[in-house]
Structure 1
Amino acid sequence: MDKTRRKFFLLLLPVCVLLLLVHHHVALISRGTLPFGSLRVSHANFSSEGVYKNVNATLGFGAIVAVSHAASPRRDGLLWSANLTGIDITIPEQPQWTDGQLQAFKSPQGSRISRGSALAWMGHLNALRWFLSTPLQTVLVIEDDVDFSLRLPSQISPAANAFRTLLSPAAPKTPNALLDTDPLFWADPDSWDLLWLGHCNDAASPQHVLSHPSISYHDNLIPPLDALALPASDLLKTFNLSHTRMLYRSYWPLCTFAYAVTRASAQRIMSTYGTEGEGGCVAFDVRMLEACRDHDWRCWTVAPELFHHVPGKSEIASVNTGAEKDGEGDRSRRRRPSVNIECGARNEWLWVSEGDEVGRERLLGRVREASARGECFVDRIRGKGKTEV
């Protein structure tokens, strides 16, 4: 064999091996378990009717905490959407940050952060500080512009089942376990640091998924495969999966739309990333990405995500340009669907003004009835128009 052909075959060999591994993974995932070296990647046949099917108002976490300040135009929409969905969100009071506090937060040398990003970072630290002031073991931190499905509680049980199966195979399996008092609902808090339920891009490659523990599970409450955004759609297509979410070791988890932490990891964030840090950093979510990617924090990602931000103006950009004081903002409405979110609770047609108590009560009842029947009330609105519903 001449040198040119030999070089060609040597280059082709790794590609063929990778294709065989992916094919092997896809074939095995349909059968249940997927050995990869010394690791096991599995497919879990869970549904919302499984263990812990009655998810509580904080989705199995100690609390759901929103990062939001008193003047945020997004708070009303977030709280109304939570009411429609049946979840309980706590918004810790955020202080009016002084210039002195802002300067103390910034790196004294080589600061790279904008005022808006610094205030957002300090808002996350404030939420974590509130969590650590309580006896709670876990918390889900969300930003106040996130969207989520009206049927979010039904999406949570299979996700938690998958996480427990992946990390805590010895966790309780009986449906009689008390959710409100069971710290193992989202796996043993000693076995994980961060769980990303809302992110804008964790572009894990098939190789990454195959080389780390991971699990996939069926979820009917997910947009069709052709309606999902990249990179989640490509990842699912690679493994020939639809109506499926994957849970894997985080690869590149950008954006802090929704992430869960334990007491230990919250304390670690406060001590390690309580300021911008030496050399500077452009944003809090970049530090979180670095913690997961570069410092071996035990981070896990659900993809496609369960939370995503609503399209709209960037509050960070508004702060940086001085526009945050003009009173303009989108309280609850948006102009197009949120990425990867089915039956979005922040849909503009679901908004009813705070003064219309009768209208709110009527809509709340109809949304809850539709959700109890397994229907998406947003689809009903689209079909008939808001005035006919």
Structure 2
Amino acid sequence: MLLHRRTAVVVLAALLLVSVYRFCSVGSGYGVPVWVRGDRNGDGEAMNGTLGFEKVFVINLPSRRDRRDSMALAGVVSNLNFTFIRALTGENAVLPAPLALGNAAEDRTATDFSHSASTGARGSWGSHLSALQSIVDLKLGSALVLEDDVDWDVRLKAQMRTFARASRTWLAIEQRKRPKAGPLLSSVSNIRGAIKTDVEGDAIALPPHVPLIDGGSRARSASPYGDNWDVLWLGHCGADLPTAQREARSRTPDSFSSSSSALKITIANDTTVPAPKHLQPHPFALLDALADAYPAHTRVVHASRGNVCSLAYAVSQRGARKLLRRFSEDGFVAQWDLMLRDYCSGEDEEQSRGMEQGRKDRESLICLTVQPPLISHRYETGGGASVSDIRGQGGGFAREKMGTPYIRLSVQANLDRLLAGYPEERLVDQLPDHGSALW
């Protein structure tokens, strides 16, 4: 108990010091760093305290006060506003049972998983479901959901502003491909002069300017990331690059699914992207395909395909309602991130063919992701706050290393320097171009 009290006092004192530094900026002479500033111009909403979403939720178990304190401090030095959600344990998580799938073998497999899954997996599943329910109940236009063992670059706000431009570009191009789809996506007419007329290729360089004004109604987009997206998967530990367009499964333009798109928006010469040798999520993973597919320091935004680990994802109000329906209908048949992966990749649409009409008429999803991810899992030597409550990536051997895959100027690695008010050039780059790989 005494140890907890001392930890709380230290964290509160640190938060107070950061608050004073933020608003007074005295002593160091460095001024307020660019990564904690807000921006009200253009698409600067992506740089506000909630990164352009209405809320940023952090899922946290009451027993993991160490993680809550770590995230709270990281949020303060990043000028981010977090709302903590009480995570569920496997013992107190009430999960929906799988509905009949029409196949005895599949029914048995789903039931076996729901009974044999770890308590951590059950608790995580119920916690993420609770986060979606909060988005719907609070009538939020959108929210970002974070797990409590993540890390990000001190330049996250600038990264999110660039991602917002890429997201709007992807959405606009996809609408151009479907001219009869109506007001599905935004900024179409305004962006035409900024991108190639021929969009038959599957990779487009990010234009220098992507307007926020809707091309049809002339109204401002509700989100800096564009309109009518469902999921923005910002933090993961691996994803596939879409390599070929698959035949669209939807028969009407209004039910377009991102799973049928191979479009990729490329962001070249991004200095926040590590060198190719660093693009590996854990010790036993292969290098990401991105390492060989594009020049060094290229970031790519595309439809979610094969993502694993639900470290950070944004959900719109519409997306939260769609996902709640799907998760409730299917029940607890796999880990949360794997089910979300299948929903976004369109795998469940294939499986639902031939089933009851209610399952066949599910609304399609528009899910975007980014590689390398903007938010990643933080590993600490010996475990500590980084020990997974579900199961560790890399078979647990990653505990022998300290660092955050994909993140160069890590907030967690630079906490002391950020608290001291150091400028960017004095922060530690944990993945330097000419340094050793993390693993």
Structure 2 residue 336 is the aligned partner of structure 1 residue 336:
no
Going from structure 1 to structure 2, the CA distance change for 1:316 and 1:86 (only over 3 Å counts) comes to same
User: Deviations along 1:192-213, whole A, 9 cap, x unmatched?
Assistant: 2211111111122544699622
Tell me the CA shift for residue 160 of structure 1.
0.5
Residue identity matched to 1:350: L
Structure 2 residue 226 is the aligned partner of structure 1 residue 184:
no
Query: Match of 2:60?
Result: 68
Contact 1:66–1:127 (CA under 8 A) maintained in structure 2: no
Contact 1:111–1:276 (CA under 8 A) maintained in structure 2: no
- What is the alpha-carbon distance in structure 2 between the residues aligned to residue 231 and residue 154 of structure 1? 29
- What is the alpha-carbon distance in structure 2 between the residues aligned to residue 94 and residue 155 of structure 1? 28
Query: Match of 2:12?
Result: none
Going from structure 1 to structure 2, the CA distance change for 1:70 and 1:182 (only over 3 Å counts) comes to farther
Q: Look up the SS of the partner of 1:127 in the other structure.
A: helix
Structure 2 residue 334 is the aligned partner of structure 1 residue 282:
yes
Structure 2 residue 265 is the aligned partner of structure 1 residue 215:
yes
Going from structure 1 to structure 2, the CA distance change for 1:71 and 1:213 (only over 3 Å counts) comes to same
RMSD (CA atoms): 3.5
Alignment counterpart, residue 366 of structure 1, candidates 409, 413, 421: 421
Tell me the CA shift for residue 158 of structure 1.
0.8
Tell me the CA shift for residue 127 of structure 1.
1.4
Structure 2 residue 377 is the aligned partner of structure 1 residue 309:
yes
Tell me the CA shift for residue 227 of structure 1.
2.3
Contact 1:205–1:235 (CA under 8 A) maintained in structure 2: no
TM (norm. structure 1) is: 0.66
TM (norm. structure 2) is: 0.59
Query: Match of 2:162?
Result: 158
Tell me the CA shift for residue 226 of structure 1.
2.8
Contact 1:195–1:301 (CA under 8 A) maintained in structure 2: yes
- What is the alpha-carbon distance in structure 2 between the residues aligned to residue 317 and residue 255 of structure 1? 11
Query: Match of 1:85?
Result: 78
Residue identity matched to 2:412: R
Matches within 5 A, 1:1-389: 51-53=42-44, 55-72=47-64, 73-94=66-87, 99=92, 101-102=93-94, 104-107=95-98, 110-112=111-113, 113-168=117-172, 170=187, 183-188=222-227, 190=228, 192-204=229-241, 206-207=243-244, 212-218=262-268, 219-229=270-280, 233-239=288-294, 241-274=295-328, 277=331, 281-293=333-345, 294=347, 295=349, 296-311=364-379, 312-317=386-391, 335-347=401-413, 350=415, 363-364=418-419, 366-367=421-422, 370-371=423-424, 375=425, 377-379=427-429
- What is the alpha-carbon distance in structure 2 between the residues aligned to residue 379 and residue 287 of structure 1? 35
Tell me the CA shift for residue 149 of structure 1.
0.6
Q: Look up the SS of the partner of 2:421 in the other structure.
A: helix
Residue identity matched to 2:365: W
Tell me the CA shift for residue 52 of structure 1.
2.3
Contact 1:292–1:298 (CA under 8 A) maintained in structure 2: yes
Contact 1:208–1:251 (CA under 8 A) maintained in structure 2: no
Identity %: 26
Q: Look up the SS of the partner of 1:75 in the other structure.
A: helix
Residue identity matched to 1:89: F
Residue identity matched to 2:410: G
Q: Look up the SS of the partner of 1:77 in the other structure.
A: helix
Query: Match of 2:396?
Result: none
Tell me the CA shift for residue 51 of structure 1.
4.1
Higher relative contact order (CA 8 A, sep 6+): 1
- What is the alpha-carbon distance in structure 2 between the residues aligned to residue 234 and residue 346 of structure 1? 27
| Structure 1 segments unaligned to the other structure (5+ residues) | 1-47, 319-332, 352-361, 383-389
- What is the alpha-carbon distance in structure 2 between the residues aligned to residue 56 and residue 202 of structure 1? 27
Going from structure 1 to structure 2, the CA distance change for 1:194 and 1:176 (only over 3 Å counts) comes to closer
Residue identity matched to 1:187: G
Tell me the CA shift for residue 144 of structure 1.
0.6
Contact 1:74–1:145 (CA under 8 A) maintained in structure 2: yes
- What is the alpha-carbon distance in structure 1 between the residues aligned to residue 325 and residue 170 of structure 2? 29
- What is the alpha-carbon distance in structure 2 between the residues aligned to residue 197 and residue 79 of structure 1? 20
Tell me the CA shift for residue 59 of structure 1.
0.9
- What is the alpha-carbon distance in structure 1 between the residues aligned to residue 426 and residue 159 of structure 2? 13
Contact 2:87–2:123 (CA under 8 A) maintained in structure 1: no
Tell me the CA shift for residue 272 of structure 1.
1.5
- What is the alpha-carbon distance in structure 2 between the residues aligned to residue 49 and residue 220 of structure 1? 24
| Structure 2 segments unaligned to the other structure (5+ residues) | 1-38, 100-107, 173-185, 191-209, 215-219, 247-259, 350-363, 380-385, 393-398, 433-439
Q: Look up the SS of the partner of 1:158 in the other structure.
A: helix
- What is the alpha-carbon distance in structure 2 between the residues aligned to residue 231 and residue 59 of structure 1? 31
